[in-house]
Amino acid sequence: MMLLIALIKRSHDYNSVLHDILHHPILVWLISGLIAGFIASLIVNNHGMGIIRNMLLGVVGAVIGDWIFSYFGWGKITGLNFMSLLIGVVGGVVFLMVYHLIFRHSRRTT
Protein backbone atom coordinates (compact mmCIF):
# COMPACT_ATOMS: atom_id res chain seq x y z
CA MET A 1 0.00 0.00 0.00
CA MET A 2 2.84 2.37 0.84
CA LEU A 3 4.44 1.75 -2.56
CA LEU A 4 1.12 2.49 -4.24
CA ILE A 5 0.78 5.73 -2.27
CA ALA A 6 4.36 6.72 -3.13
CA LEU A 7 3.69 6.13 -6.83
CA ILE A 8 0.47 8.10 -6.73
CA LYS A 9 2.18 11.03 -5.00
CA ARG A 10 4.48 11.37 -8.00
CA SER A 11 1.53 12.02 -10.28
CA HIS A 12 0.17 15.53 -10.81
CA ASP A 13 -3.24 15.10 -9.23
CA TYR A 14 -2.40 12.58 -6.53
CA ASN A 15 -4.77 13.97 -3.89
CA SER A 16 -7.90 13.09 -5.85
CA VAL A 17 -6.54 9.66 -6.87
CA LEU A 18 -5.51 8.85 -3.30
CA HIS A 19 -8.88 10.04 -2.01
CA ASP A 20 -10.69 7.81 -4.51
CA ILE A 21 -8.68 4.72 -3.58
CA LEU A 22 -8.93 5.18 0.17
CA HIS A 23 -12.63 6.00 0.16
CA HIS A 24 -13.72 3.20 -2.16
CA PRO A 25 -13.00 0.02 -0.24
CA ILE A 26 -15.02 -2.05 -2.71
CA LEU A 27 -12.42 -1.21 -5.34
CA VAL A 28 -9.67 -2.42 -3.01
CA TRP A 29 -11.61 -5.65 -2.37
CA LEU A 30 -12.04 -6.24 -6.11
CA ILE A 31 -8.40 -5.55 -6.99
CA SER A 32 -7.00 -7.63 -4.15
CA GLY A 33 -9.65 -10.29 -4.84
CA LEU A 34 -8.57 -10.53 -8.45
CA ILE A 35 -4.91 -10.94 -7.49
CA ALA A 36 -5.56 -13.37 -4.60
CA GLY A 37 -8.07 -15.41 -6.63
CA PHE A 38 -5.69 -15.73 -9.56
CA ILE A 39 -2.85 -16.89 -7.31
CA ALA A 40 -5.11 -19.35 -5.45
CA SER A 41 -6.44 -20.80 -8.71
CA LEU A 42 -2.87 -21.18 -9.99
CA ILE A 43 -1.91 -23.06 -6.83
CA VAL A 44 -4.89 -25.44 -6.87
CA ASN A 45 -5.88 -25.69 -10.55
CA ASN A 46 -2.57 -24.84 -12.28
CA HIS A 47 -4.41 -22.19 -14.35
CA GLY A 48 -6.51 -19.10 -13.86
CA MET A 49 -10.30 -19.24 -14.02
CA GLY A 50 -11.09 -15.92 -15.74
CA ILE A 51 -11.33 -12.39 -14.40
CA ILE A 52 -14.79 -12.60 -12.82
CA ARG A 53 -14.37 -16.04 -11.22
CA ASN A 54 -10.88 -15.16 -9.96
CA MET A 55 -12.24 -11.94 -8.46
CA LEU A 56 -15.12 -13.77 -6.76
CA LEU A 57 -12.77 -16.48 -5.53
CA GLY A 58 -10.45 -13.86 -4.07
CA VAL A 59 -13.24 -12.01 -2.27
CA VAL A 60 -14.72 -15.24 -0.86
CA GLY A 61 -11.21 -16.41 -0.04
CA ALA A 62 -10.51 -13.15 1.78
CA VAL A 63 -13.59 -13.65 3.95
CA ILE A 64 -12.66 -17.27 4.70
CA GLY A 65 -8.99 -16.42 5.21
CA ASP A 66 -9.83 -13.48 7.47
CA TRP A 67 -11.97 -15.76 9.62
CA ILE A 68 -9.22 -18.42 9.81
CA PHE A 69 -6.41 -15.98 10.55
CA SER A 70 -8.50 -14.07 13.11
CA TYR A 71 -9.52 -17.30 14.84
CA PHE A 72 -5.89 -18.30 15.36
CA GLY A 73 -4.78 -14.73 16.12
CA TRP A 74 -2.42 -14.52 13.16
CA GLY A 75 -3.70 -11.24 11.72
CA LYS A 76 -6.54 -9.56 9.87
CA ILE A 77 -7.17 -7.98 6.51
CA THR A 78 -6.18 -4.34 6.83
CA GLY A 79 -6.22 -3.08 3.24
CA LEU A 80 -4.23 -3.57 0.09
CA ASN A 81 -0.98 -5.00 1.48
CA PHE A 82 1.03 -8.23 1.45
CA MET A 83 -0.51 -9.75 4.59
CA SER A 84 -4.05 -9.13 3.38
CA LEU A 85 -3.17 -10.63 0.00
CA LEU A 86 -1.67 -13.69 1.73
CA ILE A 87 -4.83 -14.10 3.80
CA GLY A 88 -6.94 -13.95 0.64
CA VAL A 89 -4.77 -16.51 -1.14
CA VAL A 90 -4.87 -18.93 1.80
CA GLY A 91 -8.64 -18.55 2.06
CA GLY A 92 -9.02 -19.06 -1.69
CA VAL A 93 -6.91 -22.21 -1.61
CA VAL A 94 -8.96 -23.58 1.31
CA PHE A 95 -12.21 -22.78 -0.53
CA LEU A 96 -11.04 -24.43 -3.77
CA MET A 97 -9.78 -27.54 -1.97
CA VAL A 98 -13.11 -28.00 -0.17
CA TYR A 99 -14.98 -27.30 -3.41
CA HIS A 100 -12.99 -29.95 -5.29
CA LEU A 101 -13.41 -32.48 -2.48
CA ILE A 102 -17.20 -32.04 -2.47
CA PHE A 103 -17.81 -31.96 -6.20
CA ARG A 104 -15.30 -34.59 -7.26
CA HIS A 105 -16.71 -36.95 -4.66
CA SER A 106 -20.30 -36.31 -5.79
CA ARG A 107 -19.38 -36.98 -9.44
CA ARG A 108 -17.87 -40.37 -8.58
CA THR A 109 -20.98 -41.53 -6.72
CA THR A 110 -23.41 -40.72 -9.55
> Which percentage of the chain shows pLDDT scores above 90?
26
pTM of full prediction above 0.85: no
Distances (CA, A) of 40 to 4, 17, 43, 65, 75: 23, 29, 5, 12, 19
14 versus 38: the higher-pLDDT residue is: 38
pLDDT higher than 60, residue 97: yes
Got the DSSP string for 18-59? Answer: HHHHHT-HHHHHHHHHHHHHHHHHHHHHSS---HHHHHHHHH
The pLDDT-based confidence of 105 (bands split at 50, 70, 90) is low
Compute φ and ψ for 46, nearest 5 degrees: 65, 10
> What number is the average pLDDT over the span 87-94?
94
Q: pLDDT tens digits, residue range 7-16?
A: 455 554 555 5
